[in-house]
Chain A
């Protein structure tokens, strides 16, 4: 199914260089075997049958004239530029790095993407309003394989919101995505990703970035849906003073399984990173948090912190945390902290003594944990609907 014939189909009408990139990726894909995700008991996963994705995913906005925005599947006239950017990911000496959540899943996107965007903010351009992208899955479009490349050129500033969603509660959909990000000197890029698939669907998502001199990249991944969700977010801080942060929020209930991987590769001097994850597990939900802080040799005076907090609401949940610190450089500051447990009984009691029901009190405490991150969502509609969704699900 994911074979050469499909690659031939997909390259028909696509520009030459990108087509040959697909073919090269297919050669890699062909040879690899899939990884299992043991900790969430996801073994020998079978990719569902390919189908094209034809939905419009961009809200037309005036600002489009200020940035470059193209569909990766089109016959592009700037393909050389795209390939040059992709080249930058090669040769970054990262141990087992830049592979997304797994090489097989990564090369699958590179070979078979059915949609995706190239977004570039030119030098010295600052966009006040966020770029909104929504990938919505439905009966006609049950498979999403998006290959995105986002570039923030020198001194630019941009916020992008990518909303993965679906209305249909019955459909078993599939998403395997890849977002590559390049942040150049002094640029600031914020990316908010919201995943709200139904609990029949599977979500796989790789995010890879390179952050240059004094550049700054801030990720806000919000995971609320899917039956299985396996994501990876890997950032390489290549130069002096590059910065990256991840503020992750997840809410998993029912039989959902999450495997969340976050990684910071410090290469540049004075580079700094922050990983913060807050989550709630309810019912029989399972979660794996992997956070790697990696200080490569030469990353003098780098600083990295990692913090995980997880609230466990039921006896039947399963929570794994694997925070790791790898250091080849003495002159660094690395720290990680994990805390896990129930909602504090005393606080709960206090709120209840003020006339709240237990459910209300619990909900309030979960909100208190999440709101600092939700407040960073720049779109009020989206923020409102995310907050509402969490509210209703805590109560159910």
Chain B
């Protein structure tokens, strides 16, 4: 008899460290124009932003909850606290950040990572950014990296032109919610031709129980610019459900290249209903690297709109669904211009009753002649308590294209193990190699130094026995 390969769960002890919820201001529960006005007043926002928020709230009230995907009936929207201001001011000197908050980020390895390998760091605690710093040489080249609140005031025109233009409150219920109550997040602007060769990183931490995090990330890359942005998320587990409904808008101009990496490790009571979209102009490139490990429910489908000729999108994603998790993720690519190309590579693992769902869209519009796309999805099931589904939708509206898709589901192949064993590798090691190899695409896409976080995340211990 073969014994099944045991893959231990991710070690969450680090992330489950919770601080006493100290805050200066916390909005009332629920969603009313008064709460929205209150948030806007707290933030001392320009008037147009308040109007935008109120309009989004109206849309939110009208929109229905999606009827497909996850069951989110457990999520008590009326009782989510939409805004929690931590008891701290925004700092650009790490030592000034309050100890409690600092300790949390220290444990997560953020400051070390900054010292060693990052061009800039942002850290958000609950609804507000508590730390933001950008290396001097980047500032000199005109790179802007700051928290969204300040960007709204300091770079008002730039923000006004782009803010929620790619993701609008009309898109769905949670984008409307985001429009109404967004808070925190990062703003990145890279001028034409500037190459930010080391990554920028924002880390989002949700500490207050029963709250929602709605950070807004807006990145604009001018012509020929180049940047790598890393987003990390975590939260301790409380008995009440938390909600994350952020928005990420990426504008990639002519010939620019952006890599957007996410390591998402929200706690297992988080509803992660995030929206991410990139608009790519001529010869521009977007590369998504996405690791989904945490949350109770995730519904996340990053979209790349290839608007300019020869624009390119790449998506590499790993989803790991363990006990009690329903992770519904996938890439969306719209080929809307000639000779655009895209590659989607998704891996998912389901174990201990987890449910991994790949749901993707590939659309090629009428004028996208010469488009090339490939979608590959692989799922690994570690036991038969778990579920794994794959649903890639393809919509093709022109003839001169080359589209390929492949998907596979199954457990660790006996043949592969046998092959490795025939090469003198023990069965244990063979199985370990296969599982590691399975997640390798994402591990290899991250900068080595950044493995601080990833190492904390994936702690795979394999135990195999001789069959």
Q: Which residues of A line the B interface, CB within 8 A?
A: 295, 297, 300, 312-342
Known A-B contacts A338-B403, A340-B403; A321 and B383 likewise in contact (beta carbons under 8 Å)? no
- Chain A to chain B: the 8 pairs with minimum beta-carbon distance, closest first: A330-B381, A312-B399, A338-B405, A325-B390, A321-B394, A340-B403, A334-B409, A319-B396
User: In the complex, A322 Cα to B405 Cα: how many Å?
Assistant: 11
Give the residues in chain B near A314, CB-CB below 8 Å. Answer: 399
Give the residues in chain A near B407, CB-CB below 8 Å. Answer: 323, 325, 334-337
User: In the complex, A339 Cα to B396 Cα: how many Å?
Assistant: 11
Give the residues in chain A near B393, CB-CB below 8 Å. Answer: 320-322
Give the residues in chain A near B66, CB-CB below 8 Å. Answer: none
Closest to B388 in A: A327
Asked whether B168 is an interface residue with its Cβ less than 8 Å from the other chain, the reply is no
CB distance from A300 to the nearest CB of B (A): 8
User: In the complex, A318 Cα to B408 Cα: how many Å?
Assistant: 26
Asked whether B342 is an interface residue with its Cβ less than 8 Å from the other chain, the reply is no
Give the residues in chain B near A339, CB-CB below 8 Å. Answer: 403-405
Q: Mark B392-418, 1 if CB is under 8 A from A, else 0.
A: 111111111111111111110000000
Contact A340 B383 (CB under 8 A): no
Asked whether B379 is an interface residue with its Cβ less than 8 Å from the other chain, the reply is yes
Asked whether B327 is an interface residue with its Cβ less than 8 Å from the other chain, the reply is no
Picked from A312, A330, A338, A340, the residue with its CB within 8 Å of the CB of B386 is A330
Picked from A318, A321, A336, A338, the residue with its CB within 8 Å of the CB of B397 is A318
Known A-B contacts A322-B393, A322-B394, A331-B411; A336 and B384 likewise in contact (beta carbons under 8 Å)? no
Give the residues in chain B near A312, CB-CB below 8 Å. Answer: 396, 398-399, 401
Q: State which residues 56-77 of B face A: CB under 8 Å.
A: none
CB distance from A188 to the nearest CB of B (A): 28
Contact A342 B404 (CB under 8 A): no
Contact A341 B405 (CB under 8 A): no
User: In the complex, A322 Cα to B358 Cα: how many Å?
Assistant: 12
Contact A340 B390 (CB under 8 A): no
User: In the complex, A218 Cα to B213 Cα: how many Å?
Assistant: 53
Give the residues in chain A near B106, CB-CB below 8 Å. Answer: none
Give the residues in chain B near A318, CB-CB below 8 Å. Answer: 395-397
Q: State which residues 285-305 of B face A: CB under 8 Å.
A: none
Picked from A297, A324, A338, the residue with its CB within 8 Å of the CB of B404 is A338
Chain B interface, >50% SS class: strand
Contact B391 A324 (CB under 8 A): yes
Contact A342 B391 (CB under 8 A): no
Q: State which residues 347-379 of B face A: CB under 8 Å.
A: 366, 369, 379
CB distance from B331 to the nearest CB of A (A): 16
Closest to A281 in B: B399
User: In the complex, A326 Cα to B355 Cα: how many Å?
Assistant: 11
Give the residues in chain B near A329, CB-CB below 8 Å. Answer: 381, 384
Q: List 22 A-B contacts (CB under 8 A).
A: A312-B396, A312-B398, A314-B399, A315-B398, A315-B400, A317-B397, A317-B398, A318-B395, A318-B396, A321-B394, A321-B396, A322-B393, A323-B407, A325-B389, A330-B410, A333-B410, A335-B406, A336-B407, A340-B394, A340-B403, A341-B401, A341-B402
Closest to B411 in A: A330
User: In the complex, A295 Cα to B381 Cα: how many Å?
Assistant: 12
User: In the complex, A326 Cα to B387 Cα: how many Å?
Assistant: 8
User: In the complex, A114 Cα to B410 Cα: how many Å?
Assistant: 46
Contact B384 A324 (CB under 8 A): no
Closest to B376 in A: A337
Picked from A324, A336, A342, the residue with its CB within 8 Å of the CB of B400 is A342
Give the residues in chain A near B279, CB-CB below 8 Å. Answer: none
User: In the complex, A316 Cα to B387 Cα: how many Å?
Assistant: 39
Contact B410 A336 (CB under 8 A): no
CB distance from B332 to the nearest CB of A (A): 14
Closest to B401 in A: A341
Highest count of chain B CB atoms <10 Å: which of A323, A330, A341: A330
CB distance from A321 to the nearest CB of B (A): 4
Closest to A313 in B: B399
Give the residues in chain A near B410, CB-CB below 8 Å. Answer: 330, 332-334
Asked whether B382 is an interface residue with its Cβ less than 8 Å from the other chain, the reply is yes
CB distance from B115 to the nearest CB of A (A): 43
Give the residues in chain A near B406, CB-CB below 8 Å. Answer: 335-338
Contact A320 B394 (CB under 8 A): yes
Give the residues in chain A near B382, CB-CB below 8 Å. Answer: 330
User: In the complex, A297 Cα to B383 Cα: how many Å?
Assistant: 11
Known A-B contacts A322-B394, A334-B410; A340 and B384 likewise in contact (beta carbons under 8 Å)? no
User: In the complex, A320 Cα to B366 Cα: how many Å?
Assistant: 13
Contact A328 B384 (CB under 8 A): yes
User: In the complex, A318 Cα to B388 Cα: how many Å?
Assistant: 29
Highest count of chain A CB atoms <10 Å: which of B389, B399, B407: B399
Give the residues in chain B near A340, CB-CB below 8 Å. Answer: 394, 396, 401, 403-404
Give the residues in chain B near A325, CB-CB below 8 Å. Answer: 379, 388-391, 407, 409
Contact B408 A335 (CB under 8 A): yes
User: In the complex, A164 Cα to B205 Cα: how many Å?
Assistant: 63
Q: Mark B31-70, 1 if CB is under 8 A from A, else 0.
A: 0000000000000000000000000000000000000000
CB distance from A308 to the nearest CB of B (A): 9
Contact A326 B389 (CB under 8 A): yes
Contact B396 A320 (CB under 8 A): yes
Give the residues in chain A near B396, CB-CB below 8 Å. Answer: 312, 317-321, 340
